[in-house]
Amino acid sequence: MASSVRALQLDLFDTIVSPETQRRIDALTCLRDAVSDALEVVVALHRTQDDDTRSPRQAGDWAFCVSRAGFRFEHVDEWWAGAMRRGESYGFARTPRRLVPWDELAEWIGNDPRRAEVAAWTDSLPEPRWRLLARPHELWPDSESWNLRYFCRDHVDLHWPSRRRAWDLVLALLGDAINQAGP
């Protein structure tokens, strides 16, 4: 007979973390630590491209997808090996299964005043601005794997100081939201 007992996640102080709180912490952590276009996600709080996608991307410990429905994420252990173990499609054949709809993400971070500062900076950029909005190479989870010329290209750009400040604000905003979500 199968057991219906669910494992509980404990924090460092043996406090029970609810599944909903853990979902929130995981989503915000994925955005902060892995998502290449997290700055754009935080500013817009909706999918900015016209097309829709469920194609996953992966960086560090996270698989993710920015879609019309919201922000999808999953820890790579579950996205890859966990799904394989359960006989499901896995890896890049599988859209990350956890979803945070845009309105829910807006509830979590939408009122942070740092968003307005980052949005004002974003609006001031010339088009095309996708490269200026992308996560700087030194902030990637596997930054040591990049060739030094990518760091140099980031740093010699006229917009580098303001770009780095905008990313620092986004990372701090997400870090604070993670801390607020905790028990």
- Domains of the chain, by residue range, sit at 16-181
Nearest partner of 40 among 119, 93, 94, 147, judged by Cα: 119
Phi, psi of 175 (to 5 degrees): -60, -45
| Residue that wins the pLDDT comparison between 116 and 137 | 116
Of 133, 162, 168, residue with least CA distance to 39:
133
| Residues 91-132 pLDDT 10s | 999 999 999 999 999 999 999 999 999 999 999 999 999 989
Q: Which residue has the higher pLDDT, 179 or 53?
A: 179
**Tokens 């794997």 — which residue?**
145
- Among the listed ranges 50-59, 85-94, 130-139, 167-176, which one has the minimum average pLDDT value? 50-59
Half-sphere exposure of 115 (CA within 13 A, CB side): 18
Are the C-beta atoms of residues 92 and 56 closer than 8 Å to each other?
Answer: yes
- Residue carrying structure tokens 């900015």: 48
Q: What is the pLDDT of residue 51?
A: 76
